[in-house]
Structure 1
């Protein structure tokens, strides 16, 4: 595949879904639960993502990522170049859920201590 067919040397195959640039940390696991490290999601769409990984991960393996606001998402590594990957999801997601504030819809007790507003008492 070349650039005329939707391929970019630095980003891999072109995706048809609209992408949303963001910075989101996630954990990557193989489909059988082996920890593959952390990654920084650089862009996210309804059908996939692009991320910078701690280490190289080969293309065409099944993985699972945990996305804030979305939950566990399974898919396959569509392309891999050094420490960058493109992941194609098994099912369509709503990428806007990852942009919602952490506290939206969560009760105060469900939030981690560092996210709770606390009043100082003297």
Structure 2
């Protein structure tokens, strides 16, 4: 598809975060995902990128995706994916499985058992 052809693809406007890694190395950078389609996304981050740069992006419920920078404007930039994704999966709630990162898993509070509570450690308010 040419750049003009891809403008007609359906995009989901949303606000998520993802981890982006430039192919030339460096630590992952947290970016804001402003909109997303099966073929690409718009990201926002205080990051200096240039058109054509190769990168990897970790999307929720999808995993790592390779792509390249299609355009830049201020702190926003477009990424075209090397292969299409199912963008609806990214919008789905994060799972609770073992592969789900801790920061998206629901917290669990375990009830105290009798041997964990010592006398005098709980008081009535």
TMscore range, shorter length: 0.7 to 0.9
Q: Is the 8 A contact 1:28 1:65 kept in 2?
A: yes
Give the TM-score of the pair, scaled to structure 2.
0.73
Q: Does 1:51 align with 2:47?
A: no
Partner of 1:9: none
State which structure, 1 or 2, has the greater radius of gyration over its C-alpha atoms: 2
Q: SS where residue 83 of structure 2 aligns?
A: coil
| Greater per-residue strand proportion | 1
Partner of 2:12: 20
Q: SS where residue 77 of structure 1 aligns?
A: strand
Q: SS where residue 103 of structure 1 aligns?
A: coil
Partner of 1:112: 102
Unmatched tracts of structure 2, length 5 or more: 118-125
Q: SS where residue 28 of structure 1 aligns?
A: strand
Which of 70, 75, 86 is the matching residue for 1:83?
A: 75
Q: How many residues align?
A: 110
State the superposition RMSD in angstroms: 2.8
Work out the CA distance in 2 between the residues paired with 1:22 and 1:16.
18
Partner of 2:123: none
Q: How does 1:58-97 map to 2 (within 5 A)?
A: 58-97=50-89
Q: Is the 8 A contact 2:94 2:100 kept in 1?
A: no
Q: SS where residue 18 of structure 2 aligns?
A: strand
